[in-house]
Structure 1
C-alpha cells in the first residue's frame, strides 16, 4: 500500500484518561524493555509491528501503525490487519541509517460496524430504511471532518442515503467510493493511542550482512622479517576482495608500549626486536589517536582506507580502551587509573593470569566526564580518517552507561557507523551490550559444536526477543581462540566450521591467514592459544602453502553474495534428517533459509563428522511453501555445481569429509 503522511498532535504518546476509549492495545512487538532500548533493522529491511488489540462487544475495530524518522513533523501510517486471536500487524520499510519511531492507534469504527450490520440485514431480507438513516448520520459527521470536494461528495452521498430510495441508497452506502472517503476521514474522537512511541535503530546494510577478514598489517612487509607498513599491506587488498570479503578488520595499529612488553608466545620478558602485543597501546609517540610509526603516517592510513574502498572493502578498526604503562594518559590523567600502595598503577589481571603490559581504565574515576569525552573522541578521530566500522575489545569490562551514551552520541552525527562487541561473556551481559547500541555481537558459536548445541543456540538467537536487537557475528577462530575442534580434526573441520559460520549467520568473520592455512597447533595441550601467536610476533605467511582452503572460502563467500536467503539470520528452519529406524541423525544437520519473497530458497546440509562419511534421509518442508508432499523439484549444489531431481519431501543425502563436507543447495521449487 502506498505510504501517506498523517498528522498527529506532537504529544502523541500522552493521552488523558477517558472512559469512552473502549479499545485496548497491549503487547506491542517489537518493544525492548518497555521502549527504553530500540529494536534494530538495516536500511531497506521490512519492520513488522504487531499488537494485541481488542474491545468490548462485537463492534469492529480499525487500527493504524504510525511511523516516521525520529523528529519528523508528519507521520506515515499503515492500516493494521487482524491475524489470529486478536493479534494485529502491519509493516513498513526501514529508511536511511538513524533512528525511527513507531506506535499504534486503534478505535471502534462505527461506520465499518454499521456497514457489516447493514449487509447482514439485507441478506436476511429485513427492512433497512432506518439503518440507512443511521448510516447517513455517520456520513454527515464525516463530511464535517472533511474539506473541499471530499466534504461536498460526502454530503451528496449522505443525501442519497436519506432519499428513501432503498436500492439507490444501498448502492451508495456500499460503494467503494464511500468506503474510501470514510476511511480518509475516520472518527478518532475516542481512539486509543498506545502509551509510548517506540524507537527503532536503523543501521547501514553492512550491519546486517557482512563478511570479515582479520589481518595484522605489521606481518605484510615485502621483505620477510621486517615490520610491515600500510603501503606494503595494500597489495593484500585485491586478494582479500576477490575472496569475497567486504570488511577488513585491523587489530590495534597504535604505538606499542615497551614497559613490561610481552615476548613471543606471551613470554613475560621480551627479547630484543620483539614487537610486543598491539593491545598494549601507547608510548611517547602517542596513544589511541596515533599510529605505530613503523606502519606509516596518517596520510598513509587514509590512502589505505581509500584504496580498500575501491576494492569493495570497508576497513574496521579495533578500539581497545586499555593502556600500556607508557601511554600519555597515565601521566596526563593519573586519576583515570587505579594506583596501588606502592605507587604503581594497577595492571590488568585475571588470576592467575597477569597482564603487566596493560593498565585498565578506571570507570569509577571522579573525572569520569572528562574520561568519557576523551574516549568518544577516539572514535571521532578515526571516523574523520574514513573509518565507519569498529570492533570494540572487551566492551563488557567498561561502563555500560558509557557505551549507551557514546554510541548514541556518535550516531547522531554519524548514523552510518557500525560497532561490533567482542564480548565472549555471560548471556545477559552480551544482551545488554546489544541493547545499549552495539550493531553486532560476538557469540558462543565457537564453542557450539554438536548438532544439538548448534540448533539450540540458533533457535535462541532467532526466535526469542534477541532477534530484535542482537545481531550475531560468527567467528570460527580469532587470534585469541584456536578451538580444540580445529586443533584435533584438521582441514575437514576447518571446512565444516567455515560453512556453518557463513550459512547460519548473515555476519561472519575469520582470523584470515591462520584460517586459510588451517593453522591448528596450540601453544600447549588444553590451551586455545596459537603456538607462535601473531599477537606477539611478526609472521611471514606463505599463503600458497599446500592444503590451504582459499578456493573453498572464496566459493562460499561468493555464494553468500549471490543468494539473498543467506543475507539474513532470523529466517532459518532446521529440517529432519533420519539415520534409519526413525532415529534423528546426529552427524548430518540441515537447515532452510528463504528470502522475504520466497524467490530464493537455500538448503544447507553439513556433515559434522570430520573423519567419516554419513548418509540419511532428509525431509524438505514442502508444506511451508504450500506444496504437496509428493511435489517434484530440483536442487543445485552451489559448491559442487551438481544438480539433482528430488521426488517429494523425503530425499537421500550423503556427504564425505574427504572432499567437501557440505551441500549448499539452491532449491528450485517450480519448473
Structure 2
C-alpha cells in the first residue's frame, strides 16, 4: 500500500499540468465547480457571457466536470462534521462517474490538523453503481479536511479501446498514433522519474514503426517497464476536485475504552449494630481502583458525588419514605451543603477527590463523573433561581415524572424560562469540574433537555477543552439518541442491553457500524444501576459471560456496573433493576471472599479486556462482518484489520462465535466468508481460542459445539495471519 500511496502522490503531481493547462475543460471545477466562461486570450468574460450574466449569476452549478457525489463519512444533513478518533481506520467513499465509456480514476486527499497531506488511491467497490472507496488511518487529534479527486484516465481509456481494435485489425495505425501521442505528453510532464521521458519517447517511436507487426508493438506497452512506469501515475486529464468535508478526530478514549461503574460511598461503607452507617469515602474507594485496573478497564465512572437532599428522599428499593440512616439517591442533588459544584461531605473534601483522581491516574485509569442536571427540593437553586424550574398553577414546583413513574425527590430544570441564565450556570458547573481535573462526563438523561442547549454547551466546552468527552445516557427514541450524537456527544448508551437474539443483534450492529457510524459511537454497557434485563436475571453465569463477550468484542467501547462480576442477578419484583438497588442504599461487597471462592467473573472480564488490547481489529467500529450459521441461537462475526493499519506489520483477524442460549448446548455449522478477512474462498487456516487456548484447522464450513456451562463463546484469532 505504501507503493500505491506513492503512486497516488506522483499522480497528483502529474495532474497539476491539467489543472492549470490551456484546455478550458481541464480547468473547470478545479476547486469544486465550473469556471466562469472566459476568453482564452485575455481572461475577460466574452460578450455572450456579459449579455447573459444576470441570468447566469442567478444560478451557480455545483458539479465539476466529473461528478463526485454521495460522500462519506459525513452526517446525513451535513450540519456538523463527521467524527473519528485517534488511530481509527476510517472508510472514505464517493460516487464518481462520467458520461460515456471512458476509464476514470479517483483518489482521496486528506489534510491533517498540522497541514500534513495524506493521499490514498481509491478503488471501485461497485463498478455498476460507480462507488469508489479508500481507507485511511487518522492519527492526529483535531479537524481534518478531505476531498475526493477524479480524473479521466486517458491511458487506461486508450488501452481499453486499443485492446479491442488492434487485435481486430480496426484502425490499427491510428490507435498506435494516439498511444504514441499520449506517451509523448507524459514525457513532457516529467513526473515519473528521470528515466521516464526517454522511455516514453522511445516507446512512442516504436509504436509508430509500421514495419513491426502490431502484436509486438502492443506487447511493448502492455508488459514490462512501460506499464510499470505508467502505473506510478496515470496519464490523465479533466482533474476534478470534489467538495471539501471536515472530519473531527478526537482523542483515543472518545472512541475506544472499557468502562467500570461503582459507587464510592459503598466501597468501605460500614454498618453499625444500631443500623446506622459510616459511608465509604474517596479514600476508601481508591482502594478499589487497583482491582479495577487489574481487570483491564480504562475508565472508572462514578455517579454524582454532590450533596443529597432530604426532602422527599427515597428509601430502599425506591420506597417513598427514607429512614434516618438511608443515604438517598445521588440523583436527588442539592442540600444545605451545596449544589452541583459541591462535594458530599460524607465522601470527603475537595482534596480527597483530587487525590482520588490522582490515584486513578497512577493506574492509567480515567475518572468519568456523572452529571445530572436536575435538583432536589433542597438545592440552593430552588431559592436563588426559581426561574430555573416549572411552577404549577398552585404555586408549587413540578417534580420529575415519567408516568406512571414519579420522582418526588427531583425537580427537573426548565431551560426555556431563562435560557441565558440557566445556560451560564450549567456552563459554570461543568467548568468547576473541568478545573478539578475531570475530562470525561457521563450525562444523565440528556434527552430531557433541549438539543440546542447541548449543541451550544458541547461546542463551547470542546472549543476550550478539546480533550473533554461526553457520554449520553439516553435510552430514548432514535431521533433524539441520534440527535445528541450529531450535535457533539462523543459516546452514547444504546439498546444493546435489550438486543438478545441473533436477528436483533445482527440488525442493530449493522446499523451502528454502518448507518450511524459517522457520528454516533456506541458504548455497550452490559448492565447499569438502573437496568437488569430478564436475560441476565434468568440466564445465570452463562448469560453474564455471553453478554460480556459480545459487548467487549463487537464494539470498541463497552462497560459494566459493579456487581456484574459477582453475577448479581436478583431483580426487584416488578422492576428491571437489581433488588436492594445501590442507588438508594449502601452496597458494600466482599470482593476478597468472592475471589477466594472463585465466585467471580473478574478473571474472565480481565481476559476479555486483555484480548481487546492485544488485537487492534477489536478497536474499530466499522469493520464487523457477520457470517451465516445454521442455528438461530448461534451468532458469528469477524473483525479484521489489514497489516498496514495494525502497527505490527501483520493483519489481525478475530472471529467470534457465540451461543446466545444460556440454558442449553448448541451445535451447528458456521459458514465463513474468508474474503471478509483477506483470504481466498477456498483457504484453510489455523484458529486459536483466546479463552481456552484450543486450536483448530478451519475453512469456509466449520462445526462448533458451544456449552453454556463451560465456555459459551469462542473468541478466535486467525493464527496464520502472522505469516499471511
TM-score by length of 2: 0.80
- CA–CA distance in 1 between the matches of 2:602 and 2:119? 49
Aligned to 2:664: 612
Paired residues of 2:640 and 2:676 also in contact (CA < 8 A): no
1:48 to 91, 105, 124: 91
1:591-670 pair list within 5 angstroms: 591-597=637-643, 599-625=651-677, 627=679, 631-646=683-698, 648-669=699-720
Cα distance 1:567–1:161, how it changes in 2: closer, same or farther (>3 A)?
Answer: closer
Deviations 1:148-171 (A, max 9, x none): x99x9999999999999957xx99
1:485 to 505, 521, 535: 535
Aligned to 2:140: 96
Question: Higher mean Cα deviation, 348-357 or 554-563?
Answer: 554-563
- CA–CA distance in 2 between the matches of 1:613 and 1:187? 62
Aligned to 1:541: 589
- CA–CA distance in 1 between the matches of 2:661 and 2:195? 73
Paired residues of 2:367 and 2:438 also in contact (CA < 8 A): yes
Q: Match of 2:278, SS?
A: coil
Cα distance 1:13–1:363, how it changes in 2: closer, same or farther (>3 A)?
Answer: farther
Paired residues of 2:529 and 2:583 also in contact (CA < 8 A): yes
Deviations 1:252-300 (A, max 9, x none): 1111112221112112121112111101112232222221122122222
- CA–CA distance in 1 between the matches of 2:333 and 2:392? 21
Q: Match of 1:664, SS?
A: strand
What is the CA distance between 1:231 and its match in structure 2? Answer: 1.3
- CA–CA distance in 2 between the matches of 1:161 and 1:634? 49
Aligned to 2:548: 498
Paired residues of 1:22 and 1:108 also in contact (CA < 8 A): no
- CA–CA distance in 1 between the matches of 2:338 and 2:720? 60
- CA–CA distance in 2 between the matches of 1:604 and 1:443? 21
What is the CA distance between 1:247 and its match in structure 2? Answer: 0.8
Q: Match of 2:434, SS?
A: helix
- CA–CA distance in 1 between the matches of 2:199 and 2:693? 65
- CA–CA distance in 1 between the matches of 2:672 and 2:115? 49
Aligned to 1:197: 244
What is the CA distance between 1:187 and its match in structure 2? Answer: 6.2
Cα distance 1:434–1:21, how it changes in 2: closer, same or farther (>3 A)?
Answer: closer
Paired residues of 2:338 and 2:379 also in contact (CA < 8 A): yes
What is the CA distance between 1:558 and its match in structure 2? Answer: 1.7
- CA–CA distance in 1 between the matches of 2:588 and 2:183? 85
1:243 aligns with 2:295: yes
1:218 aligns with 2:270: no
Aligned to 2:569: 520
1:572-583 pair list within 5 angstroms: 572-577=624-629
1:590 to 636, 644, 649: 636
What is the CA distance between 1:38 and its match in structure 2? Answer: 2.3
- CA–CA distance in 2 between the matches of 1:180 and 1:620? 35
Paired residues of 1:571 and 1:594 also in contact (CA < 8 A): yes
Cα distance 1:345–1:13, how it changes in 2: closer, same or farther (>3 A)?
Answer: farther
Aligned to 2:367: 315
Aligned to 1:580: none
Aligned to 2:68: 25
Cα distance 1:428–1:228, how it changes in 2: closer, same or farther (>3 A)?
Answer: same
- CA–CA distance in 2 between the matches of 1:531 and 1:394? 22
Cα distance 1:156–1:548, how it changes in 2: closer, same or farther (>3 A)?
Answer: closer
- CA–CA distance in 2 between the matches of 1:222 and 1:353? 30
Aligned to 2:46: none
Question: Higher mean Cα deviation, 446-455 or 233-242?
Answer: 446-455
Q: Match of 1:326, SS?
A: coil
Paired residues of 2:32 and 2:240 also in contact (CA < 8 A): no
1:203-352 pair list within 5 angstroms: 203-221=250-268, 223-224=270-271, 225-352=277-404
What is the CA distance between 1:478 and its match in structure 2? Answer: 0.6
What is the CA distance between 1:569 and its match in structure 2? Answer: 3.2
Deviations 1:75-109 (A, max 9, x none): 65444444423322334332322222222343446
Paired residues of 1:35 and 1:199 also in contact (CA < 8 A): no
What is the CA distance between 1:232 and its match in structure 2? Answer: 1.4
- CA–CA distance in 1 between the matches of 2:440 and 2:449? 19
- CA–CA distance in 2 between the matches of 1:21 and 1:560? 44
1:531 aligns with 2:579: yes
Task: Note the residue ranges of structure 2 that are not aligned, 5 or more in a row.
Answer: 21-28, 38-60, 210-216, 272-276, 644-649
Deviations 1:457-488 (A, max 9, x none): 2222223x212222221122111111112222
What is the CA distance between 1:522 and its match in structure 2? Answer: 1.8
Aligned to 2:79: 36
Task: Note the residue ranges of structure 1 that are not aligned, 5 or more in a row.
Answer: 578-583
Cα distance 1:15–1:235, how it changes in 2: closer, same or farther (>3 A)?
Answer: farther
Question: Higher mean Cα deviation, 347-356 or 127-136?
Answer: 127-136
What is the CA distance between 1:27 and its match in structure 2? Answer: 1.4
- CA–CA distance in 2 between the matches of 1:504 and 1:240? 22
TM-score by length of 1: 0.86
Paired residues of 1:68 and 1:101 also in contact (CA < 8 A): yes
Deviations 1:595-620 (A, max 9, x none): 23372222222222222222223333
Cα distance 1:53–1:227, how it changes in 2: closer, same or farther (>3 A)?
Answer: same
Number of aligned pairs? 649
- CA–CA distance in 2 between the matches of 1:133 and 1:664? 57
Question: Higher mean Cα deviation, 588-597 or 477-486?
Answer: 588-597
Q: Match of 1:294, SS?
A: helix
